[in-house]
Each structure stands twice: as C-alpha cells, then as structure tokens.
Amino acid sequence: MKFLLLCTLLGQLFLYAEAPLKKAGLEKMIQPKVSFSSAYLSDATLNGYEGSVNVRKNRIGINNAIAGFSYTNWAFGWNNLASLPFGNGTNSPIKQMHSFKLNANIPYFVNDKLFILTSVSVKSTFEKEHSDSYGGGLFSFASYKLDDEHAIQFGAFANYHPISTLALPVISYSYRARQSDGFKFILGFPRTYVGYHVNEAALLRFGIVFSQSVIRLSNTSVIEESGFIEAEDYMSNLGLSYEINEKFNIETDVLYGIKRNFIIYSKSGNELQSNSIDSSLGVSVRIAYIF
C-alpha cells in the first residue's frame, strides 16, 4: 500500500508545480528506481486458540512513476500446530507465499487545480502453483488543490479476484504533502500518513494502511487443497526515512499489526472458515536507489 501513498504524492507533485517546472517533473517521473525491503512480524496467536505464527516478508521492485514490477515473498513460522483451527496438526499449514505484480499509472490534468490519476495492476499471489491465482486492481482518484498547502483527494479502489472482489472508497485530505521541511500529512482511507522533516534529508513518519489480497493455496495444502485465503489487515508504522544523497534512500520502521483477518475458501469458492490473528510488533528496513 505504499503504492497508494505514491499515487497521492504524484498528484501533489503536478498540482503544486509551476508550469516551467512541469517538464522537469515529467523527466523525474520516468527515472527508474530499484528498491528492496525486508520486514518481520513477531509471533502472534490466532484469536481464541493457542497456535501462533510469525511472518518474514521480503520484496524487490523496479518502477518509476508510470509503471512498475515487483516480487514479494512471505515466510511463515508456526508454533503449537495441534492448537490451530486448520491444518493437520503436524505439518506447517503454509511455509511460503509468493506474489508478482505489474502496474501502470495514467495521469490526466484537468486544469491547474484538478488532477486525476488512474492506476491498473495485474498480480498473481500463490503458495506453489500459480493457476487460478491471477487478479487485477484498479485505483483512481482526483486531487483538487485548495491552495498552495492544502488539497483533497477522492475516488475509489478495487481488487478483483474470481474468489472475492473488494471495492472501497478513497478519500483523504493532505497538507504540505510535497514539502521537505516541517510537518506534512495525508489523512484518510485507505492510508493515513503523518511526517515531520527534521531537516531536508531526515523525515520522521507515522502511518496506518489497510490492505487486502487473495492467495491461491497449493494442490496439496493441508489447509484446503487448491483452495484460497483472503487476507485483510491494518498495519501501522513509526520510523525514519533518510536521504543519503539524491539517488540513495533508506527507511527503518517499527511495525504494529493492528488487525489481521483471513477467510479460507474451497477450490470452488465456498467460504469454509474465518479467523483473526492477534496484534504483534515488528521491524522493517527498506533501501531504494534512483538511476
């Protein structure tokens, strides 16, 4: 969901740029960026059960403001297998999960105050076999400039998968979103973000983000053979972003999994059970290099 924040910031970049600077802004948009992030969420029990799980997540991506491609891997560590509400009580329910995502952004300037950005994506999220794992996403919003520091954003986003489709509104209010000094924030859904520039290079930030995904289980899954899991979560972060130079940036955060829910579906799409994972703490680090 950093992608949603990026879309909002792109809208601000264009709305607050003076006409002579828009060409420079466009040149900056096509610059490729490579990033790598790694995160860990500590052990957390499933609500109402003694079984627990910890999660490691690694992601690598290459993108600019127009298009991007990423690969994400999740590794799960389970405890008290016999006390889980699914699986066979002996084997880990799921050890790893993979996701490939391709997205494209389409900007449109209505006038100096109104900017519209639409993004489309295709992704595959699976345990082993990738058949029936493909889904799509659509994110579209308009950003209206109230003055040189304030703007509002409104629109919608949808995640499509044959098993489950989610559509929700996007609404937010931003203040000094593109500034590199003092306070800045974006308040709304599905992302809230507050930052404070200690200086031009260092940014303290806090955020809460909602995300959703459908995962295709393996043909031999002990959870449900060839089934699916729909996962939803609210994640918060508190950390520091530091720009080492114009090309290299590093971010470190403390994470807090506020709410994590998941639904298990059969191969044919019938809902079998739903569960939630208790809150837990974690850490993350991300590095990015702009060519």
For 14, the 3-state DSSP assignment is helix
Q: Say which range, 13-27, 62-76, 249-263, has the weakest mean pLDDT.
A: 13-27
Tell me the residue type at 239.
G
Three-state DSSP at 222 gives coil
pLDDT at 177: 87
Q: Please check the confidence at residue 4 and state whether its pLDDT lies above 80.
A: no
- Whole-model pTM: value is 0.89
Q: What is the pLDDT of residues 82-107, one digit of tens each?
A: 999 999 999 999 999 999 999 999 98
Q: What is the pLDDT of residues 160-203, one digit of tens each?
A: 999 999 999 999 999 998 888 999 999 999 889 999 999 999 99
Whether a cis peptide bond, with omega within 30° of 0, leads into 169 is no
pLDDT at 62 over 70: yes
3-class secondary structure, 81: helix
183-195 in b/e form (b: 16+ CB < 10 A) is ebbbebebbbbbb
Q: Which residue has the higher pLDDT, 22 or 58?
A: 58
pLDDT of residue 17: 46
Task: Report yes or no: 30 and 65 within 8 Å, Cβ to Cβ.
Answer: yes
Domain annotation for the chain: domains and CATH numbers: 2-290 (2.40.160.40)
For residue 53, is pLDDT > 50?
yes
Percent of the chain topping pLDDT 70? 91
112 or 26, higher pLDDT: 112
Question: Virtual CA dihedral for 262, 267, 272, 275, nearest 10 degrees?
Answer: -10
Res 5 pLDDT > 50: no
109-144 residues labelled b (16+ CB within 10 A) or e (exposed): eeeeeebbbbbebebbbbbbeeeebbbebebbbbbb
Q: Which residue has the tokens 């954003």?
A: 153
Using CA atoms, how far apart are residues 77 and 44, in angstroms rounded to an integer?
10
pLDDT score, position 1: 47
Q: Give the tokens for residue 221.
A: 């899954």
Pairing of β 67-79 and β 96-109:
antiparallel
Structure token pair of residue 192: 């809230």
pLDDT of residue 26: 66
The whole-chain average pLDDT of the chain stands at 91
Residue 20 has pLDDT above 90, yes or no: no
